[in-house]
Structures are given as C-alpha cells and as structure tokens.
Structure 1
Amino acid sequence: MAMQVVRNLDLERYAGRWYEIACFPSRFQPKTGTNTRATYTLNPDGTVKVVNETWADGRRGHIEGTAWRADPASDEAKLKILCRQPHMDESVYKELVERAKEEGYDVSKLRKTAHPDPPPESEQSPRDGGMWWVKSIFGK
C-alpha cells in the first residue's frame, strides 16, 4: 500500500519531543515497552538527529540515528503519527484511527502505547544497547 506523504514539512516546527500514542507492533520493539518517545534535533547540515526511546522492565532502551530527505529536491516526507503530549484526546485518537482505516490500514493490529510514568525530559541513562525498532521518518 502506498503511504500518503506530508508536503512542505517545516522541520523546525517538527523538531523536538514527540510521544508515541499507538503503533503497529514490530518484532524490534519490546512488547512491554512504555513511555515510548522520539526526539528530533535539526543538524546544521539539514539532516535530523533521531533518538527513539522506550522503557521495558525498568530499563531504557534507545537507538540513535540520522534522518534525511530521500530526495532533497522533493517537498515530501513520510512520518509516523505522534503527539507532543503523552496522552491524546480520545476523540482525536478515534478520528485518526478512522482515517488510517480509510487509508487501508488494518487498525485491529494497532496497539496503544502506555505512558504511566513519563520520564523527565532530560532522562539520560548509560548506553545499555537497547536494540529496538527504527522507523523511517523521511524518504520512501
């Protein structure tokens, strides 16, 4: 299925902390993961530093990477649905799920992400090799 793309993405506005509200489970993501979030930081060269974090069994798992536009001349970007707060209004969530269903996604597989105790903004832990998923932010 072809994913609809975002046009004219404002990277400065997109940068910062985002919380995962729901996801399609991935074999790379812990089944017991909570407080999942992503932080995007603009780099001087136009790329974006990506830090994905989740907490499972009291330990922080994380992965860092760099994202860039697959076609620098294009104004298109593919993004996952996230929220600036750990919780989303239920009516907004239902509207987004319905929109995903209309786009052809099997929303029965969608799993809400728990945020029982969001860690502080500046949470830093030793690098514990938290191997889990990397999802494409930009590109095809």
Structure 2
Amino acid sequence: MFKTALITLAVAASAAGAPARANQPVASLDLQRYAGTWHEIAHLPMFFQRHCVDTVTATYTPRPDGTIDVRNACRTTGGDMDESTGVARPVEGLNGALQVRFAPEWLAWLPVVWADYWVIGLDSDYQWAVVGGPSKKYLWILSRRPGMDQALFDKLKDDARALGYPVQDLVMVAPLD
C-alpha cells in the first residue's frame, strides 16, 4: 500500500511538469558565429523602441579587443529609418552574457550605462536567438531572416513564458510564416 502511494505521488509530481529551466544565459556562445545581422521578430515594449514599426535589425561586428560593435536600426512610424550604435562586452564567467552600452565612450566607466544582454535561447546553427536578461523586463526574438515560422515562434514564446517573461505583451515587428 505504502509503495503504491509513493508511486502514485511520483507519477503525479512528474505529470505536474518538471521545474522550469532557470533564466540564465546559454552555456555556450560563439561570438564569431553570432556576429552579423539579426532581424527582430518581436520584443517586449521598450521606451527606446516606441517608434519602431518594422524592418528592425541588430548587427554585431566583433572588434579586435574582444568587444562588439552594435548597430540597431528600424523603420519608424514616420517612415524614416532610425539607427543607434553602441558597443557590447562579454561578461566574465557567463559565456552567453554580454553587457551593452549606447551611451558615449566617455561615460563607459559608469556602471549604469551598461545593460545586461543575455542570449537565453540559441539555435545550434545560429539561425534564431532569444535575448533577455536577469530582470525579465525585456525580451527579443531574433532571426537571421526577416520572418519566422509560426510554429517556431510559438515554441520560443512558450519557452520564454516558462522562464517568467511576460510574453503576452510581445510587440510583433516581422511576419510569421
């Protein structure tokens, strides 16, 4: 009887689902493979992206010193292309984590100008990426092409939801196939 109760409890616990994966950067990120242009599919609302409507891209270019040039661009509600440039640096001890700065170089010494940029999901062929951070206040779903398969998008969104991101607030900026 006791053995049957234990088995029933074990089955019930496993049916409830395994504990969610911790919100953390991917274990391995090859910055040379990550470099290049990414197309944004969706993002959580961000003040600095409030005027972006589509054609949102992020281009990463490695520098000899190990940092990365960052160029973000989008088409705005007014129809113009908007662009911002910054720099990213790897976080020591967290392979999939970067810190990004869009403030001028002379302010780089201030910790407040650096924002966490965690790659929390990554295709083995570097064809899609999901970017977030420890606060879960921001999230970007990125693709190497300007669209994404609906089923893949739904899976990435569900994975982000399981990590605690408010995916119900995602802003779509690219088409789904």
TM-score, normalised with respect to structure 2: 0.59
Q: Deviations over 1:16-52 (max 9, x none)?
A: 0000000001111134521100000011111100000
List alignment gaps of at least 5 residues for structure 1: 116-140
Judged with a 3 Å threshold, the aligned counterparts in structure 2 of structure 1 residues 98 and 52 are, in CA distance, closer, same or farther, namely: same
In structure 1, the residue corresponding to 2:157 is in which secondary structure? helix
Amino acid paired to 1:112: M
Partner of 2:62: 42
Q: 1:1-140 residue pairs with structure 2 within 5 A?
A: 3-56=23-76, 57-71=78-92, 73-77=93-97, 78-79=118-119, 80=131, 81-114=141-174
- Counterpart-to-counterpart distance in 2, 1:107 and 1:13: 27
Q: Percent identity of the aligned residues? A: 39
Aligned-pair Cα RMSD in Å: 1.6
Structure having the higher helix fraction is 2
Report the Cα distance in structure 2 between the residues aligned to 1:54 and 1:32, rounded to whole angstroms: 6
Equivalent residue pairs, number: 113
Residue 49 of structure 2 aligns to which amino acid in structure 1?
Q
The 1-side partners of 2:23 and 2:84 are apart by 24
Task: Point out the structure with max Rg over C-alpha.
Answer: 2
| Cα deviation digits, residues 66-111 of structure 1 (max 9, x gap) | 100132x542421223100010000000000111111111111011
Partner of 1:120: none
Change (3 A) 1:22 1:75: same
Structure 2: unaligned runs, 5 residues or longer: 1-21, 98-117, 120-130, 132-140
